Each structure stands twice: as C-alpha cells, then as structure tokens.
A and B are shown apart, each in its own frame.
Chain A
C-alpha cells in the first residue's frame, strides 16, 4: 500500500532535513511545475486528480484555484495562505504532517502558489504548535538558502516569498475569512461572501486558503500524475487520507490509508479495536463538528459522498470513539462548551444561543434537566443551522448535538427522569 504523504517520514519522529527530503525526490515536483508547466496546467492536473480539500468542506482544489484572476491585468500582489490552525477537537493530522516533513508542505505550497501566480505566501499556524513552529521556521530558512523561495526560484522567472505566522489562538481563526482578518491584524471575525477570497481576500487582493494536508498531496500529484493519484483511492476521490482515532481504543493514532477506507477497518485493524472492558457505542467521524454515527454505519467508507449519505460528514477524517462507559450527555456537553466558548460573538443566534445550549446540557448532565429541555435543544439545532448564522461555526456545533438528541435520546431522558448521571464519576470525560 502506497503512503506518499507519510511513507518517507522517519520512524523516530524527527523531521526530514532538506537533504533527506531531496534524496527521496523532494522538490523535484516544484522544479518541474515552476520550470516546465504553466499555472493553468497545474490547476488542471489538480482538477483531473480530483483532489478535494482536507480542511473540512471538501471543495475541489483545482477548481478553487481556477477562480483566481490570472495574467497581467490581475490585481497584485496575490496571496496564498496555508491554513495550519488545526483547532478542531480530536484533530491532529496537520501537526503530524508538519512535524514529520515540513518541506513537503513548503513544496506543496510553492506549487499551489505558482498555480495562482501568487507573490506572497503565509503559513497560519496554530499558536500551541511550538514544535511545528520551530521545524517550519528552520525548513523555510533552508528553502530560502537554496533559492527554492525568494526571487527567481529554480532559476525561473517566478518569485515567491513565504512567511510563518503563529496564531494568537482561537478556533474561529481556522475559518478562512476570519483567518484573513486575523492575518491583517484585525479581530478574527468571519467576512461576508461574496466577495470570495479568490477575488478579494487578504488586504482585498486575490487569495487562496488551503489546508495543510491538501497541500501535502500536491507534489505527489505533479510527480506521478492524475491517474496514479486516483488509483490510490478506494473511492472516486483521489489519493490517500490521514485518518485518526481517539477515544478508548487500544492504539489511538493516525494512519495514512486509501481514501474511502471503512470505519470498521480504521477502528479495528489500525487502532486495534476497543480497550479491554469497553464496548464500541458510537463515533464522531470527522472532528467535533460532524454528526455521530453508530454500529450500523461501521462499513461505510470514509469519503466525502459516502459519509454524507450516511448522514454525517468526512470533516477532518479524525474520529472520536464513544464507548459504553462514556456518558454521551457529558460528551456532548463537553463539545458544546467548547463551541460556546469559541463563538466569536459576532452574530446573535450563535453568541446568545450556544451558551444556552451549554447551560442546558450542563443542567441535564447534573440531574437538573427539565422534560421540556429536549424540545428547546432541538429548536436550537434548527435555529443555528446553515445560513441562519453568519458563518459555519454554529451549524458545525449543531451537528453532534442534533444527532446525539436522536441516537442517545434515552440517555437524555434517563438523566432528566432519574435526576442524575448514571455513568458515575468516570463517565464525564472523553479520555
């Protein structure tokens, strides 16, 4: 099984140096693209490979690039931004990619930036990712010293600067337009669309924002072509996916597997199943803002369409497993508390609604819930839905709640009826 993104990483967890990386074929793709392909050819290749964004929404990457105004009349400078904010609960795939092979991300960014003729690139990095910060800063310096960044890179006429920016740390900074505000030194609030960032983004100039994992795929597509890339996958979407599992499984972790691997395989073959004494009960498949799935969905393939058909989303592809000893009410309360705290406070339903949801869940968990609370919660899951709020944070927050109210209905009712949590002390956490 091919693992283009992680196969060349060192087993000891140290990063590949620029020499190691180049010995394994690194920077060949960037050289090939920048000196031998037109930006349009790079865009088309990404489209043909059917590369879809790994940041959560799954938009076709080549398509996204193609909306940028090109040529001499395009506004300048154009920007390329790497979204390395990774604050989705349960998600730690980008961190592994950056820690293990920072040059792979830099190379992918050079190619993607070239595809839109960007002048300046930024890596917007989660503030707590100190190891990534150190390794990326060192790798960027190495790339500059070999003229892979800066003026006339690879001896071509193309110039690209790269800057590393560490976030001051809020979940909303990962939303691409809030990220742009934050980069501009403004408060991280989302922007209205249209205009889309591809037309008017950072400082009003054309800008593309892509996720770390998305970009790490790009060099391999350039090197090996669209057909090879599609062949890696078990679904119609190209490539491999970094899947992750956390929760009470035997070996939590991350694996690079063909896109479209089933939930069952990931949990039982790769994470080696549940820990002794614990039963599988449910799973949030793609980070905290996706809907719970249960036993009946274990054979669903983890890809964009299959997950949607099953009533959830691929999201970030990193799952949180809920076992039979974990109180689902407590788990959902934990998540909603996170979202309520991270609401940027910009629009009414999210700012005022999420704290209420968290309060109500807190009350239910502590045995002070009222029968009508379930109705109020259900009403909120509807009023915080898509487009009713300014950005996708609140709808994302409603996905686990909405499904929990159905799947774990009996647990909610029991908490309210018996006036206590029946899972005991141990049940209130996700560890």
Chain B
C-alpha cells in the first residue's frame, strides 16, 4: 500500500519502505546530503539531511531524513528556521575542519557562511563521510580504503582515509562519490594516478581501447567487471573506451546487431 504524507506542504505519495529523503526527491524537493548515495543507501553520519517530522508518535521530531521511513499521515518540514540553523552549524563545523575544500566552501557559501565561526586551526582534508570506504567495499568489492586514526586519537572511528595499494584496482569509484573531491584520479597517458588528499596514493597501468588505442581503464578494474558477468555474455565484450563504445553501440542500434568490432586490439 502506498503511503501518503506531506512534505513542505506538498501532498506526497511514497512507495512502502521509501525514506523521506527518497520521497522528497521524487517530487523535486531537494534536501542537502553529504553522506548519502543512492547506490549505497543511508548512513546517517553527516546529519545534514536533518528535517522536522510531525505525525503519529513523532512529536515534531528533528531527525535525519535519509534513514527516516515515510509513514502514513506524516508531515515533514525540510527547511524550517531551526532546521536551516542546524544545517548552518554543521556546515560551519565542517568548514572549520576542512577549510581548503573547494566544494565545501561552495556549500557553505550557499548557506550564507563566509568564514567559519569556529576558527581554522584544523586542516583536515576530508569530511569523513565514509562514502568512498563504502563504495569500494560494498559496491566494487575491492575493500581498499580504510578509515585511519593516528597518534593519541587511536580510539576514534577516523581521522583520515588510507588507500591500500595492493587491494586498489584503480576503478575510480571513490573519486566519483566523494562529495568534496578529496579523492581524485588523473589519467596521464598510459597510467592512472589515484590521489588521496592531493597525494598520489597509487599508480596503475591503463589498458588501451581496442579501437582507437586510447588508454582508458585499468586491467584490474576490467577483470573485476568481467568476473561478475555471465560466461556467455563475457565473450561478446570488447575492450572499448567509453567514446568508442558509444559510437559502436549507437551505430549498432541504428543499423544492425551485433556490433562488429574489429580494431587494432591487444
């Protein structure tokens, strides 16, 4: 049975099991998030997605929307004055810890923060949202990223992210999900560098596209994809860079099937 609720005065129909964040997104109501990714589900650590929820048994509860189930008769406010103020504090705190992050500065600016009111002594490189660790472990299966702590703060969950070279397959998923661009990758000709906090943490060789010869992906990441594909399907797959595969498959759709790929190969 579908669930009816109200978000920012709008009538919303959500599917059973949907979270408030998902339901809002469906109707174009944007709630800011930093640790949520739809491929990974809720995590609840950044606390930016906070909303005010009223309804049976809720009593104007202030809580995170990424892990709040949408329920019948609920009424949610995503930007009430106290919610806006709380988000501002969160961004202010994050900004004070990670002053040099450009995306974070942009987010803070949008919230009306010019300079952190908490000083700028801390120089963390990331906001410890955990997305990269989760995508690498849960989606990619490489488990190459770790939260790490140092020195006297050993009991903390994390102070920074560390990349384990021998496990990293160079797929770049971490860079794709990082909300503050603390992890990036750069392809320099035949090699790919994974940069954690601006430093090269791993370098892997790239495989050339079988059509145009442009280096485009690491062997380990191709192997990892292949390993998950059915044997029969695997046969038809060619090593193509995104650009060539777009051309080929678009052509195949227009003309005939299957696509005939005969390139310089390896």
- B93 and A389 contacting across the interface, CB-CB below 8 Å: no
Chain B residues in 8 Å Cβ range of A356:
93, 96, 118
> Are B155 and A170 in contact, CB atoms less than 8 angstroms apart?
yes
B97 x A352 contact (CB < 8 A) = yes
Does A310 interact with chain B (Cβ within 8 Å)?
no
- Secondary structure type dominating chain A contacts: loop
Chain A residue nearest in CB terms to B157: A345
Which of A349, A376, A382 has the most CB atoms of chain B within a 10 A radius of its CB? A349
For the complex, is A383 an interface residue (Cβ under 8 Å from B)? Answer: yes
Return the chain B residue nearest A343 by Cβ.
Answer: B156
B87: nearest residue on chain A (CB-CB)? A383
List residues of chain A with CB within 8 A of the CB of B250. Answer: none
**Among the listed A352, A385, A390, which residue makes an inter-chain contact with B94, where contact means beta carbons less than 8 Å apart?**
A352
The reply to whether the CB of B62 lies closer than 8 angstroms to some CB of chain A is yes
Instruction: Identify which of B61, B93, B128 contacts A387 (C-beta below 8 A).
Output: B61
A388-B118 contact in complex given A170-B155, A353-B93, A379-B89, C-beta closer than 8 Å: no
Query: Which among A189, A342, A351, A390 has the highest number of chain B CB atoms within 10 Å?
Result: A351
Chain A CB within 10 A, most for which of B62, B93, B97, B155: B155
Q: Is there an interface contact between A389 and B94, defined as CB atoms closer than 8 Å?
A: no
Q: Give the residues in chain B near A398, CB-CB below 8 Å.
A: none
For window 35-68 of B, CB contacts with A under 8 Å fall at 42, 44-48, 50, 61-64, 67
CA distance A274 to B96 in the complex (A): 44
Prevailing SS type, chain B contact patch: loop
Contacts of B155 in A (CB 8 A): 170, 342, 344
Instruction: State how many angstroms separate the Cβ of B139 from the closest Cβ of chain A.
Output: 19
A349 / chain B contacts, CB cutoff of 8 Å: 47, 89-90, 93
B117 at the interface (CB under 8 A from A): yes
Asked whether B158 is an interface residue with its Cβ less than 8 Å from the other chain, the reply is yes
Given contacts A344-B156, A346-B45, A389-B47, contact A383 B127 (CB under 8 A): no
Task: Indicate which residue in A187, A351, A386, A388 contacts B86 across the interface (CB closer than 8 Å).
Answer: A388
Instruction: Name the A residues within 8 Å of B89 (CB-CB).
Output: 349, 353, 379-380, 383
Residues of A121-141 whose CB lies within 8 A of B: none
Interface pair B127/A346, CB less than 8 Å apart? no
Question: How distant is A317 from chain B, measured CB to nearest CB, in Å?
Answer: 27
Contacts of B50 in A (CB 8 A): 388
- B44, A348: Cβ atoms closer than 8 Å: no
**Chain B interface residue count: which class?**
20 to 34
Interface bin, chain A: 20 to 34
Q: How far is the CB of B160 from chain A (nearest CB, A)?
A: 11
Provide the residues of chain B in CB contact with A390, threshold 8 Å: 44-45, 47
Residue of B63, B93, B127, B158 with most chain A CB atoms under a 10 A cut-off? B93
List of B residues within 8 angstroms of A379 by Cβ: 89
Interface residues of A in 339-379 (CB under 8 A from B): 342-349, 351-353, 356, 376, 379
Q: Is the CB of A192 closer than 8 A to any CB of chain B?
A: yes
In this complex, the member of A348, A349, A379, A389 whose beta carbon has the largest number of chain B beta carbons within 10 angstroms is A348
Residues in chain A near residue B48, CB distance under 8 A:
348
Q: Which of A297-349 contact B (CB under 8 A)?
A: 342-349
Docked pose: A346 CA to B107 CA in angstroms: 21
The chain B residue sitting closest to A169, CB to CB, is: B155
A41 CB to closest chain B CB, in angstroms?
Answer: 30
Q: Would A352 and B44 be within 8 Å (CB), given that A189-B157, A345-B158 are in contact?
A: no
A388 touches B62 (CB 8 A): yes
Residues on A with beta carbons closer than 8 Å to the beta carbon of B93: 348-349, 352-353, 356
Question: Interface residues, chain B, CB within 8 Å of chain A?
Answer: 42, 44-48, 50, 61-64, 67, 86, 89-90, 93-94, 96-97, 117-118, 127-128, 147, 149, 153, 155-159
Q: Which residues of A contact B (CB under 8 A)?
A: 170, 187, 189, 192, 342-349, 351-353, 356, 376, 379-380, 382-383, 385-390
**Pairs across A and B, CB under 8 Å, 28 listed:** A170-B155, A187-B147, A189-B157, A192-B42, A342-B155, A344-B155, A344-B156, A344-B157, A345-B128, A345-B156, A345-B157, A347-B46, A347-B47, A348-B46, A348-B90, A352-B96, A356-B93, A356-B96, A356-B118, A379-B89, A383-B86, A383-B89, A387-B61, A388-B47, A388-B50, A388-B63, A388-B86, A390-B45
Contacts A187-B157, A345-B156, A388-B50 supplied; 10 other A-B pairs, CB < 8 Å: A187-B147, A344-B156, A345-B128, A346-B45, A346-B157, A348-B45, A348-B93, A351-B156, A353-B93, A388-B62
Interface pairs A-B: 7 shortest CB-CB: A345-B156, A352-B93, A345-B157, A387-B63, A383-B89, A347-B45, A346-B157
